[in-house]
Chains A and B, each alone.
Chain A
Amino acid sequence: MAMKRIGVFICHCGRNIAGTVDVKKVAEEIGKREDVALATTYIFMCSEPGQKLIEESVKKYNLDGVVVANCSPTLHEKTMRNAAARGGLNPYRVEIANIREWAAWPHEDNPEAATRKAIRIINATIEKLKANASLEPIEVPVVRRALVIGGGVAGIQAALDLADAGIETILVEREPSIGGNMFRLSETFPTLDCPQCILTPKMNDVAQHPNIKLYTYSEVESVEGFMGNFKVKIRKKATYVDWDKCTGCGECLRVCPINVDSEFDLRMAKRKAIYIANEQAVPLKALIDENTCIRLQFEKKVKEGKIKPKKNVKICSKCADVCEPNAIHFQNNEEIVEEEVGSIIVATGFEVMPAEAFPELGGKYPDVLNSLQFERLLAPSGPTAGIPRRPSDGKVPESIAFVHCVGSRDPQSGVPYCSRICCMYTIKQAMLVKHALPSTAVYDFYIDIRSNGKGYEEFYHRAKEEYGVNFIRGKVSKIYKVGDKYRVQGVDTLTGRIVEVDVDMVILATAAKGSEGVKDLAKKLRIPYDEWGWLKETHLKLKPLETPVGGVFIAGAAQFVKDITDSVSQGSGAAAKAMALLSKPQLEKEPLLAKVDPEICAGCGRCKDQCAYGAISIDPVRHVAVVNEALCEGCGACSANCPTTAIQVVNFKKGQIIRAVDVLAEVF
């Protein structure tokens, strides 16, 4: 029944509201309404005494509804609902009329109009409130398991923290090994630690942890459900090798006759058609690349009818022949597994643009590499054992040029933002070149050095002073081949002079972007992302790990490119967020959801087509729509499409909105 004893509390907000809106007059006007039992003002409604005023008035006047006219509901709706609830009123019988952001502030130049508008907003809110029902939050059970997507350092940290807290955790990595980009690095700024030495123990912990289920070479196929209750399908890609049997001995790799570029080494080395991701891979297992394996290609063509197999022709099975545990079966063992989890952490990391994307900077030449490729050449465990060599001829370079900001801060040919880590890793790489090849000349072209981390500026000065790296403040405009060398042409912006150096190798610090394919994943998860593939947080300052989808968190470079320190911190942070969620036996959900009146529902299903969450089904027996409360998000798309008004969002019923609209539309 419509409310008859409504309390209206008008906030002065110091002078924020009362400085413009004549709050006395508002109270007077609103007090004239028959359904209003009390209309009063107070200097700060959100203060302790302000809340007390609501609580006590509810009791004293036996209020059946409350409107608080103050600031945006995003700020104090909860506060006010709780205050009324302490007085014994159902919290869903409280509404906020936003007269600060929506009246006092934008119309501070016109107090009279602001006052009239405040009155109107309050009247409209009362009309909407009057038919609000008393509601109880809906309780949904929580599956006490977590999923981490991406096994880079951020995902590894998140998985370990969760598992240590006793939460069963599933880690999905699309590459054959976990480790991510950090595992490709040579040494790490600013400490010059060996990344493999510090990461391998963590990777092994992941593999051995009793609470972690690791799926490598796997991808998330689909995600259904909601906070506390996600159902995830994971596609384990075909390896053609039985990993339960494979011991990682590597005998097979020796005999395979096929050589192709190694993904892990970013084309700086070759691998076989049967391969192990890298020497320290976790898990250390072999898999066959179906696109290059002679046998699998042959079988595929036979299957497609492109060739007819001749009798007695032996097709390559060299790897299987030498595999002692008989692990290689050549069978397509792709599989979809289903997991239920309560929370999801996305830690899919980043990638750097390929050198080829910058032809004017010589990206097409074999000795012009991007920074991550060069990490492989500097890595002691890499293809050149840490002594950089030119890919074209294997020559040790006598001179190297580094170019910062390639594609970064450059909306024309790349991205508008600063990729944040390039200055530091370029300085590091320059230093490591000097370590490995003291007589090699190193030129470092930068626009400005951004060394804003703990120990970073000191690191930069070491490179300059101890290692004798030539830092040139300048923009490189062109790189081209001159004989055996590459000519780097640019302007020294400090002296204004044209600079030209001829070098043996060039390293481009190319812009970072979100991982390839991340947008598809984000769509499956329904989380936002930007045009460069960075996942979008709920609030950059205050909710950097949250997404608008409850229970889904982001961590590491997936949010935006960052260094290892920050990636690990975010991994732990996201794990803590997930733990807080999973530590509750039940979750409370706002009950402002769609409800069907079966008496008038025609069973036409027009609502069902509108629901983006698949929350509506048509009961085949009663032939009426049924809403699954666990899935419904309360958007109201269904109700706007229902020809009979049978389906409505509770406390946003059409009658309520129309009454409010009538007040708003009224001519002065």
Chain B
Amino acid sequence: MSEEKFDPVIVGFFCNWCTSAAADLAGTARLHYPPNIRPIRVMCSSTVDPVYLIRALQEGADATILGGCHPGDCHYITGNYKARRRVAIVKTVLKSLGFDDTRVLLEWISGSEGPKFARVMNEYTSYIKERGPCDFKYIDSLGGD
């Protein structure tokens, strides 16, 4: 697959109180970012079971973003700290199995940071485009299924 044609799939898990609100704000302000981001609203970043992230990569996503409130600002007090821990574990597991751990990104984007939301989506999409397809799928092509 040539680099130009590669159109990555990125699944975004956005907490209801901060990053979803930021995504709303980015939309309202007509800030453009690539449609490669496929969003789902979750109540808190701490809801996100590591399984969701791995599953997304397995099912075809090239990358995943988890967006939550800034440290100290989680609507549920400490949810984002829990998410941070979980993401760290997922990354370690990916890495130790020989996969690319940058396919999971954790970002704090507050409800007032519409521009930051758009910027992160733009930057991460470009990064993944450069990086190429996720190696999970490479295993599929080897008959891994």
Contacts and interface: CB of A to CB of B under 8 A. Distances in A.
A113 B37 CA distance: 11
A635 B46 contact: yes
Nearest to A667: B60
B24 A635 contact: no
Interface in B100-138: 118
Contacts of B75: 548, 635
A105 interface: yes
Contact of A662 (B17, B28, B59, B86): B59
Interface string A69-112: 00011100000000000000000000000101111111111100
B23 A102 contact: yes
Contacts of A101: 23-24, 26-28
A658 to B, nearest CB: 6
B52 A528 contact: no
Nearest to A105: B27
Contact of A109 (B17, B32, B58, B60): B32
Contact of A639 (B11, B23, B47, B55): B47
Given A636-B47, A640-B49, A640-B82, A661 B56 contact: yes
B43 interface: yes
Contacts of B86: 640
Contact of A106 (B26, B43, B73): B26
Contact of B30 (A73, A105, A633, A640): A105
Contact size class for A? 35 or more
Contacts, number: 138
Contacts of B32: 106-109
Nearest to B121: A106
Given A528-B73, A637-B79, A639-B47, A660 B40 contact: yes
Nearest to B78: A612
Q: Taking each of A101, A103, A105, A640, which has the highest tally of chain B beta carbons within 10 Å of its own beta carbon?
A: A640
Contacts of A116: 35
A59 interface: no
A626 B75 CA distance: 23
Nearest to B80: A637
Interface string B1-27: 000000101010000010011011011
B10 to A, nearest CB: 9
B106 to A, nearest CB: 14
A637 B82 contact: yes
B54 to A, nearest CB: 10
A665 interface: yes
Interface in B53-77: 55-61, 73, 75-77
Contacts of B60: 665-667
Contacts of A103: 35
Given A639-B49, A640-B47, A665-B61, A657 B27 contact: no
A117 interface: yes
A640 B59 contact: no
A612 B79 contact: yes
Nearest to A71: B24
Given A662-B59, A664-B11, A668-B9, 14 more contacts: A74-B21, A105-B30, A106-B26, A116-B35, A124-B40, A528-B73, A610-B46, A639-B47, A652-B42, A658-B55, A664-B38, A665-B55, A665-B58, A665-B59
10 contacts: A72-B20, A106-B33, A121-B38, A636-B42, A637-B44, A640-B46, A657-B52, A664-B11, A665-B55, A666-B9
8 smallest beta-carbon distances between A and B, as pairs: A101-B27, A636-B47, A635-B76, A637-B46, A665-B59, A105-B27, A113-B35, A665-B61
